[in-house]
């Protein structure tokens, strides 16, 4: 059973302990923070690696295309991969900086899910790799090394104290938004991994089966962290999650508009694509501002 940390402050909320990669027990506020150096170091390494891929995908798509030798990644595909990795860089990098486990806890198990999915996809597409290329070897080594470390950290951290900055409670619409993100991205992630051909046919812009399946891992990671953050009780707990999703939504909108010629105006999937990411961007910008205002757990007085 997890220990709950408090420094003499009164409990701000209670609830049944959760189950899974980052159980959410009864939360208590306190000055004591718990973000171990081991987690911070691993998170920073992952964030830097993700930032490099994001830079390639968004600003050097031709190099991204050459590096991913098992998939065809023309500009929009490379940009979208870059947007997904930028989300990861912001999320994981933020988790290395914040203090309380309620703010960073779900991220480490999200890393475990994402890196494991990449390892599985690498194994499935083994024949498509050119092992003489340096980027390929770096890719494979990364996704062989990262998963066991991430899962070991996930198991280790489950028994560490849950700490929170406390403060203003999460509003119902915030929880509903996170649950909606978890459901949609989770369903799409499973479908992309298990029914890649059907999903490639339904995708709003031309995509190969292999690339469609690759998107499944990041989508499941988004769903996982959104679900666990939806179980948090305080707005200060969303200070890492909300900006990462806002960045994802805004970046996808920008690159989609930039490549709008690839979308068919009469395709419902295209309208759903733009509408969904616009909604993600708008709601999570609001969540980001709110979480930032409450990041230290203070209640913000209403304007008079």
In tens, the pLDDT along 60-75 reads 887 776 666 556 678 8
Rounded-to-5 percentages of helix, strand, coil across the chain: 70, 5, 30
Please indicate whether residue 195 or residue 131 has the higher confidence score (pLDDT). 195
pLDDT above 70 (res 38)? yes
**How confident is the model over 216-225, as a mean pLDDT?**
96
pLDDT of residue 13: 39
Please state the three-class secondary structure of 198-242 as a single string.
HHHHHCCCCCCHHHHHHHHHHHHHHHHHHHHHCCCCEHHHHCCHH
pLDDT of residue 22: 54
pLDDT of residue 138: 82
pLDDT of residue 215: 93
**How confident is the model over 184-204, as a mean pLDDT?**
95
Residue 101: which of 294, 218, 234, 298 has the closest Cα?
A: 234
**How confident is the model over 46-51, as a mean pLDDT?**
94
Residue 44's beta-bridge partner residues? none
Average pLDDT, the chain: 84
Q: Is 74 helix (H, G, I), strand (E, B) or coil?
A: coil
Percent of the chain having pLDDT more than 70?
83
Please indicate whether residue 6 or residue 288 has the higher confidence score (pLDDT). 288
> For residue 273, how many other CB atoms are within 10 A of its CB?
18
**Band of pLDDT at residue 4, cut at 50, 70 and 90:** very low
**Band of pLDDT at residue 264, cut at 50, 70 and 90:** very high
pLDDT above 60 (res 124)? yes
Rounded to 5°, angle at Cα 38 from 34 and 39:
65
**How confident is the model over 207-220, as a mean pLDDT?**
90
Residue 29's beta-bridge partner residues? 164
**Residue partners of 87: CB distance under 8 A and separation at least 6:** 218, 222, 244, 245, 247, 248, 251
pLDDT of residue 10: 37
pLDDT of residue 68: 63
Structure tokens given for 41? 């170091």
Contact 100, 207 (CB under 8 A): no
Q: How far apart are CA 235 and CA 101, in angstroms?
A: 14
Percent of the chain having pLDDT more than 90?
60
Residue with tokens 């309380």: 100
Look up residue 11 and give its DSSP letter: B
Rounded to 5°, angle at Cα 174 from 18 and 294:
90
Q: How far apart are CA 180 and CA 17, in angstroms?
A: 22
**How confident is the model over 76-87, as a mean pLDDT?**
94
What tens digit of pLDDT does each residue of 292-304 get?
A: 998 876 544 333 3
pLDDT of residue 61: 84
Please indicate whether residue 199 or residue 158 has the higher confidence score (pLDDT). 199
Q: How crowded is the C-beta side of 172, counted as CA atoms within 13 Å?
A: 0
pLDDT of residue 62: 79
Residue 206 Cα distances to 17, 53, 229, 275, angstroms: 44, 22, 33, 19
């Amino acid at each position: 059973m997890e220990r709950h940390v408090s420094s003499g402050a009164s409990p701000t909320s209670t609830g049944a302990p959760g189950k899974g990669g980052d159980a959410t027990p009864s939360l208590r506020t306190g000055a004591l923070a718990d973000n171990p150096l081991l987690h911070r170091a691993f998170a920073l390494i992952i964030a830097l690696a993700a930032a490099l891929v994001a830079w390639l995908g968004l600003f050097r798509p031709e190099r991204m295309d050459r590096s991913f030798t098992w998939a065809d990644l023309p500009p929009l595909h490379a940009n979208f991969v870059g947007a997904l990795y930028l989300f990861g860089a912001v999320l994981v990098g933020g988790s290395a900086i914040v203090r309380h486990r309620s703010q960073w806890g779900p991220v480490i198990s999200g890393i475990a899910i994402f890196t494991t999915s990449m390892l599985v996809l690498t194994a499935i597409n083994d024949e498509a790799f050119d092992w003489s290329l340096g980027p390929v070897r770096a890719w494979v080594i990364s996704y062989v090394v990262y998963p066991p470390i991430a899962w070991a950290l996930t198991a280790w951290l489950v028994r560490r104290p849950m700490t929170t900055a406390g403060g203003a409670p999460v509003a119902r619409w915030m929880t509903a938004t996170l649950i909606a993100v978890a459901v949609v991205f989770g369903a799409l992630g499973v479908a992309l991994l298990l029914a890649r051909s059907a999903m490639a046919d339904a995708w709003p812009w031309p995509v190969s089966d292999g690339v469609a399946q690759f998107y499944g891992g990041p989508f499941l990671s988004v769903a996982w962290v959104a679900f666990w953050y939806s179980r948090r009780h305080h707005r200060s707990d969303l200070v890492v999650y909300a900006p990462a999703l806002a960045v994802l939504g805004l970046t996808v909108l920008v690159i989609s508009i930039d490549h709008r010629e690839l979308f068919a105006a009469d395709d419902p999937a295209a309208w759903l694509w733009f509408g969904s990411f616009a909604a993600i961007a708008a709601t999570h910008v609001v969540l980001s501002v709110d979480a930032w205002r409450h990041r230290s757990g203070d209640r913000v007085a209403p304007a008079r």
